[in-house]
Every structure is written in C-alpha cells, then in structure tokens.
C-alpha cells in the first residue's frame, strides 16, 4: 500500500483546524482514525507531513556499475551473461547472480537477439 500524499495530509489537518472532528475527517477523507491522529500530532509538533522514505535494501548494482555495464555492452555485444558477471566482479567489485544481471539489463533496455545484446526498439512489444 502506498503512503497518502502530502497534499491529502495537509487537507486533513486543515479540516481539523477548521473544527472538523477527527472521526468525521477520517470518514470524509477515507483514511483511518489513527492516520488522522498521527497527522494532527505531527502538525502540532511542527514536524513535516510528508511521507517518509520507504525502507529497502540498496540496489545490488549502483549507477557506476550500470555505466560500466552499458559501456561493456557496446564494446562487446556478443559477451554472455556469465562473461558480464565476471567483468562486473573484476572491474566494479560487484558480485551478482545471472538472474539479477539479466533483470538489470532488461531494465536498461537491452535484450539478447541472435547471440548479441541489442537495445530494444521502441516498436517491439
């Protein structure tokens, strides 16, 4: 479930400031009573209403490694996933599985066509 937008949170707090009850605000905006109470408390304490950054693990391949990977794809279009994995291990000190590397390449817009890696075209499905 995604966090409620900062705009909605501000509207809820504004409604409370105009005199609307917390239960009434929860029903009117379609949120839980505990959320309304939390937003009111944040506002009263002068803290920001913006949603916090979601927790999660760091990406296995950072931006520098992606740039190296892109350059390698252009330089060696026929290299296999295993060769690319070894390359990333040597050059960027990044150890990833073949599956992870395959997902990253797909997100970057590359696919394997007849024994070579190519950019996917805008018209392909």
One domain for residues 7 and 51:
yes
Question: Does 76 reside within a domain?
Answer: yes
One domain for residues 20 and 50:
yes
One domain for residues 71 and 45:
no
Q: How far apart are CA 125 and CA 122, in angstroms?
A: 8
pLDDT at 20: 96
pLDDT at 10: 96
Rounded mean pLDDT, 12-16 = 96
**Domain count for the chain:** 2
The yes-or-no verdict on residue 62 having pLDDT over 60 is yes
The yes-or-no verdict on residue 110 having pLDDT over 90 is no
pTM of the full structure = 0.53
Cα radius of gyration rounded to whole Å, the chain: 24
Per the prediction, the chain carries an average pLDDT of: 90
One domain for residues 35 and 67:
no
One domain for residues 3 and 51:
yes
One domain for residues 34 and 49:
yes
Rounded mean pLDDT, 70-88 = 92
One domain for residues 68 and 48:
no
Question: Does 124 reside within a domain?
Answer: no
One domain for residues 41 and 69:
no
One domain for residues 31 and 49:
yes
**CATH number of domain containing 12:** 1.10.10.10
The yes-or-no verdict on residue 1 having pLDDT over 80 is no
Rounded mean pLDDT, 70-96 = 91
pLDDT at 121: 66
pLDDT at 27: 96
User: Could you tell me the residue range of the domain that residue 102 belongs to?
Assistant: 63-118
Place 111 in a pLDDT band, splitting at 50, 70 and 90: confident
Question: Does 123 reside within a domain?
Answer: no
The pLDDT tens digits for 27-55 are: 999 999 999 999 999 999 999 999 988 88
């Amino acid at each position: 479930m995604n966090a409620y937008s900062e705009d909605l949170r501000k509207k809820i707090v504004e409604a409370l400031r105009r005199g609307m009850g917390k239960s009434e605000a929860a029903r009117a905006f379609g949120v839980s009573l505990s959320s309304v109470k939390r937003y009111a408390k944040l506002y009263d304490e002068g803290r920001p209403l913006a949603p916090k950054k979601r927790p999660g693990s760091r990406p296995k391949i950072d931006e520098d490694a992606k740039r190296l990977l892109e350059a390698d794809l252009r330089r060696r279009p026929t290299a296999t996933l295993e060769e690319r994995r070894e390359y990333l291990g040597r050059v960027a000190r990044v150890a990833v599985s073949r599956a992870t590397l395959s997902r990253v390449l797909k997100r970057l817009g590359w696919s394997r066509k007849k024994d070579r890696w190519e950019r996917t075209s805008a018209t392909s499905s």
